Structure 1
Amino acid sequence: MLHDRVLVQLTPEEGERRSSGGIVIPATAQVARRLAWGDVHGVGTNARTVKVGDRVLFNPDDQLEVEVQGRTYLVMRERDVHAVASERIEHGTGLYL
């Protein structure tokens, strides 16, 4: 990867979801403009806050797709990443943005 580019593979969808009221939302239901989680598989030399192995939140509609060895990845600029998830092991309470 060059400059501030990030190579991300989409995290597979979990399928059915539940609303806060307990209503089951099927996997086929379309939701307007939804952000997605993905795993970083490559970063350019000028990327400052993202590293390989991070889990990032981004808009998949605005990114470029590329296929490498039969797997589909998205290529984006680091500035297109909305959040980076990290685990705080010292407190043991889970995932943080």
Structure 2
Amino acid sequence: MPEQKLEIQMLHDRLLVELTPEEGERRSTGGIVIPATAQVAKRLAWGDVLGIGTNVRNIKVGDRVLFNPDDQLEVEIHGRGRLVMRERDVHAIASERIEHGTGLYL
């Protein structure tokens, strides 16, 4: 029996997010190399929005969102890890939409 592919529809205020791949080591603005194994305080992460529920108001598919990955639920789809979260758990949005913002760019 062939495997049937089903479409995923997020419900309510849920988002389906793929973590943006992190580089192994980072470099500070002063040029200091920070290894991937360095212990840092809680660090927020960026992710790409793959799907949104019907009650999501401010986020669109394709936006990059800033969130705490430790507080989210993980699911595996087609062998890749994805995160499921509520819209209210997002701290910031990076998108090409022109609205009022901070004046900072990624």
What is the TM-score of this pair, normalised by structure 2? 0.79
The structural deviation recorded for 1:77 is 0.3
Matches within 5 A, 1:53-72: 53-72=62-81
Which residue does 2:90 correspond to in 1? 81
Q: 1:23 to 1:96 in 2, by over 3 A?
A: closer
Mapped pair 1:30 → 2:39: yes
Aligned Cα root-mean-square deviation (Å): 1.8
How many equivalent residue pairs?
Answer: 92
Structure 2: unaligned runs, 5 residues or longer: 1-9, 99-103
d(CA) in 2 for partners of 1:3 and 1:44? 5
Partner of residue 17 from structure 1, selected from 12, 26, 47: 26
The structural deviation recorded for 1:88 is 6.4
d(CA) in 2 for partners of 1:66 and 1:27? 24
Query: Which protein shows a greater Rg?
Result: 2
d(CA) in 2 for partners of 1:30 and 1:87? 33
d(CA) in 2 for partners of 1:87 and 1:29? 33
Runs of 4+ in 1 over 6 A off after TM superposition: none
Mapped pair 1:46 → 2:79: no
Which residue does 1:92 correspond to in 2? none
The structural deviation recorded for 1:87 is 3.3
